Amino acid sequence: MPISRSTRREFLAAGLGLGLGGAWAWINVAQGASSPARVRLGTLAPKGSSYYKHLQVMGERWREISQGAMLLTIYPDGTMGSEADMVRRMRLGQLHAGLLTGVGLAEIEPAVTGLQHLPMMFRSLEELDHIGERLQPLLERRIEEKGFIVLFWCDTGWLRFFSKQPVITPQDLKQTKLFVWAGSAAEVDIYRSVGCNPVPLETLDILPSLQTGLINAVPLPPTIALAGQVDSVAPHMLDLAWAPLVGAGVVHRKTWEAVPPEQRKALRAAAVETGRLIKADGRRESVESIEAMRKRGLKVHPLPAEAEVEWRREVEAIYPRIRGTIVPADIFDEVVKALTAYRAAPGQPRK
């Protein structure tokens, strides 16, 4: 559940004191101090969710591997602010790690947008897996150059449109007040250029903004919609695979390099297994969440074939504007090239 604005302010105020704690954790690891090094990890994932539970297991594995020298403390529910806030905190040493979506990762390295900010580019999760495997080594190198280490990759399946009134066609979407993630002026401009009414907000503002009418449509993974009870105020969902919600666990390079080299391989292996489990559960729970919301009143609208043609025509028309603004040109071109080759391979469905 989203936390209140007053609670957010309290956490942010308390967070001013974390800088010394963050710096002290770095000193502990680097100098081999006897007291355990506390690695602070921030995430928007709700406490009690499978994401949170898998991170807890990873923390326990890290404690075992380090023989108690490394203790992971998780700050869920956006208590450390937005993902942009978390990245800033990691750079300041107030946080050391984060489980971030593509939105937060793009604050570190814009090339990550090639996995998340291309609407309807991927026709299946298998295509996403293929492109991810191809791009991730390059993305990891670029992210490391920016001062962070990727511990694992994950995703939670597709973003779907949840709305107060049915949205079936692109024209329907243009009649809504549509949530978009704050921080991307280029994305707002592109939506406006095609006749949409984007409202840039932080993730924690989604539910209250739906309740007040500031927005009336939002693209979300069903798991997050279910956890946040978004369907209670936006009871319509279009069965359209808009784009994947991709994420990764990252740690500040200064924190990682302070870990004894002989432990890093085992710590990374535990993290990679965490990412595998988060992805598997996220995709499964996405399907299960739709059914759970359907049982409590969500109206799931199938996508008619003629409407799908219309959606593809609309989004493909804006790809040239996405290229080089939201998604770096070299990454956009690589995604298109790799998808074209993948789809041309024997045995792949022709669509």
Q: Give the C-alpha separation, 102 to 95, whole Å.
A: 18
- Residue 351 is assigned to a structural domain of this protein: no
Structure tokens at 135: 């791009």
Residues sharing a CB contact under 8 Å with residue 315, sequence separation 6 or more, in sequence order: 119, 120
pLDDT confidence band for 351 (50 / 70 / 90): low
- Residue 349 is assigned to a structural domain of this protein: no
pLDDT confidence band for 13 (50 / 70 / 90): very low
Helix, strand, or coil (residue 27): helix
Given this model, what pLDDT does residue 350 score?
A: 55
CB 241 within 8 A of CB 120: yes
CA–CA distance from 156 to each of 116, 186, 238, 281, 320 (Å)? 11, 25, 17, 8, 27
Q: Give the C-alpha separation, 161 to 170, whole Å.
A: 11
Instruction: Indicate whether 2 pLDDT > 50.
Output: no
- Residue 350 is assigned to a structural domain of this protein: no
Structure tokens at 181: 């993630």
Q: Give the C-alpha separation, 129 to 349, whole Å.
A: 16
Instruction: Indicate whether 170 pLDDT > 60.
Output: yes
- Residue 291 is assigned to a structural domain of this protein: yes
The predicted model gives 87-101 an average pLDDT of 98
Given this model, what pLDDT does residue 150 score?
A: 98
Here the CATH number for the domain that contains residue 75 is 3.40.190.170
Please tell me the total count of domains within the chain: 1
pTM metric for this prediction = 0.87
Structure tokens at 48: 């009690």
Given this model, what pLDDT does residue 346 score?
A: 86
Domain range for 166 is: 5-344
